Amino acid sequence: MAPIRFENSYAALPERFYARVHPEQAPRPELIRLNEPLAARFGLDIDWLKSADGVAMLSGVRLPESSEPIAMAYAGHQFGSLVPQLGDGRAHLIGELLDRDGLRFDVHLKGSGRTPFSRRGDGKAALGPVLREYIVSEAFAALGIPGTRSLAAVLTGEPVYRETVLPGAVLTRLAESHVRVGTFQYFAVRDDLEGVTQLADYVIARHYPELKGTDRPYLALFEAVTMRQASLIARWMGVGFIHGVMNTDNMQVAGETIDFGPCAFMDRFRPDKVLSSIDAMGRYAWNRQSRMAKWNLARLVECLLPLIDADRDAAIAMAQGVLSRFDEAFLKHYGECFSTKLGLPEGEGNEAFIRETLSTMAANEIDFTLFFRHLTGLAAGGEEAPWLALFSAREAATGWLQQWRALHEPGVDSIRRMQAANPIYIPRNHRVEQAITQAERGDFAPFHALVDLLARPFEEQPGCAHFERPPEPHEEVHETFCGT
Ligand code: AMP
Ligand code: MG
């Protein structure tokens, strides 16, 4: 018997919430990487996970008896247009596990075959997107930004057909939730108020139990989701991250980053930077992410309105009241985040200097990560030279530095906070691409090296200076692509 016992709380919801479907058979599953520290957090048997039976589970070939695999139903606004039915088209929720603290996580296979929600897709995932999600999601965890986790990546032994023929792979993703704004929309567009209510009750019970029994639990739920998103988006922006596909089906209600598809960290700073190949209009540019999160939240509360109050006008007024606090919450987190990165004293009043900093960075095309990394070095008593060298226009640099010196808060605490907020290593696109290209040729060493490095993003690691460097012009990645 498999030494793993799944719980299946989502599969206990009504049948119309999902489709019961077993993953497809991968012909020759082969483990690429197991996230051992993460497995340990769930008390999982690492030797078993690495064994043929464990890999059979991680590829979906053979599931433990306690698993009730399902594909979840959801809808979503994709780039502004409502699609009434999306759903897990290449993924299976195989069960839930509790971590050491009793926190419940979904165990989700991605790339595990067709489901009733596949539409014209093949249900498969290519190796590249699986490795990208593994690298970026685990980098997020080390950076302390909420997001889904990667437990394992396996090769399926089967080719997948995209523009070229690529190796197929499956990612095992752990998440506190796979309920998205689009899951609520799925029921709302069908006028299934009972479904919306059951889903909201499930989300409250699982993710926001403190709201149960409050005066207006559904309004409180909306407020809690809103506040988590306000904080999450600020944290993305603080590391120069662009999610790339903030469709409502990719915004999760527990406040974790989900669906690391064409996402990317910026090298040279440009506030309206877009990297995703499918975002031609720049809808999800770096500096539009808070606006788009708010737009998504408005779609969420539209679904909840009938639950908030029987009087629609009253419900709308209350919903707007909450939504109007999003900007304030976001700006507060954003201000705190950049104040810490810059070593400024806590409190209000740093906004103008933060704006000025970002426009100086943009005007001088400065690498986002290195700007803060070398400023941290300088604040800690290091040389000015590495930071100055980021600028081609010396006057811009010295002018800004003079202002910064007048404003920044000296002292060990401030330096420590800067060090903990300004990573040395991020998953630079060209490094991710190199790791994927090598893996496609059968060499997984660069992938493993990158994952290992990014587990400690704030610590200088010997022999790793090349990982800090921005891409040479010929290495630069101009576009990132979806997993599909
Ligand atoms: P994404 O853009 O990756 O969030 O996916 C959007 C929708 O397309 C979801 O319903 C996915 O399940 C579905 N999808 C993506 N890739 C595939 C695929 N290869 N086969 C079937 N469905 C897919
Ligand atoms: Mg998605």
pLDDT at residue number 207: 98
Mutation probe of ligand 1 site: the residue of 18, 78, 88, 90 with most atoms within 8 A of C-beta: 90
Q: Is the pLDDT of residue 468 over 70?
A: yes
Q: Mean pLDDT, to the nearest integer, of 95-110?
A: 97
Residue 149 has pLDDT above 60, yes or no: yes
User: What is the spatial distance between Cα 477 and Cα 431, in angstroms, rounded to a whole number?
Assistant: 10
- Helix (H) or strand (E) holding 452, with range, is helix 445-454
Burial class (CB in 10 A: 0-12, 13-18, 19+), 52: exposed
Predicted pLDDT of residue 346: 87
More confident residue, 483 or 426: 426
Q: Given the CA of residue 261, which atom of ligand 1 is nearest to it?
A: 3
What are the tens digits of pLDDT across the range 242-289? 999 999 999 999 999 999 999 999 999 999 999 888 998 999 999 999
Q: Do 379 and 408 contact (CB within 8 A), yes or no?
A: yes
- 249 assigned to active site: yes
What is the pLDDT, as a whole number, of residue 484?
Answer: 52
Query: 2 falls in which pLDDT band (50, 70, 90)?
Result: confident
Helix axis angle, 289-308 to 193-207, nearest 10°: 110
Q: Using the structure block, give the residue that is written with the tokens 């075959």.
A: 113
| Residue 483 confidence class, pLDDT cut points 50, 70, 90 | low
Residue 72 pLDDT exceeds 60: yes
160-171 pLDDT, tens digit per residue, is 999 999 999 999
Across the chain, mean pLDDT equals: 96
| 352-386 pLDDT tens trace | 999 999 999 999 999 999 999 999 999 999 999 99
Is the pLDDT at 68 greater than 70? The verdict is yes
Atom of ligand 1 nearest to the CA of 483: 3
Q: Which atom of ligand 1 lies closest to the CA of 259?
A: 4
Q: Which residue has the tokens 């926001």?
A: 208
DSSP 159: E
Residues 88, 192, 215, 249: which is the catalytic one?
249
Instruction: Categorize the per-residue pLDDT at 481 as very low, low, confident or very high, splitting at 50, 70 and 90.
Output: confident
pLDDT at residue 348 greater than cutoff 90: no
pLDDT of residue 119: 94
Give the pLDDT confidence of 45-63 residue by residue, as tens digits: 999 999 999 999 999 999 9
pLDDT, greater one: 458 or 348 = 458
Residue-wise pLDDT tens digits, 327-345: 999 999 999 999 999 999 9
Q: Beta-carbon neighbour count of residue 97 at 10 Å? A: 19
Range 414-431 average pLDDT: 97
CA distance 356 to 373: 18
Give the tens place of pLDDT for each residue, 207-221: 999 999 999 999 999
**Around ion ligand 2, which residues have CB less than 5 A away?**
250, 259
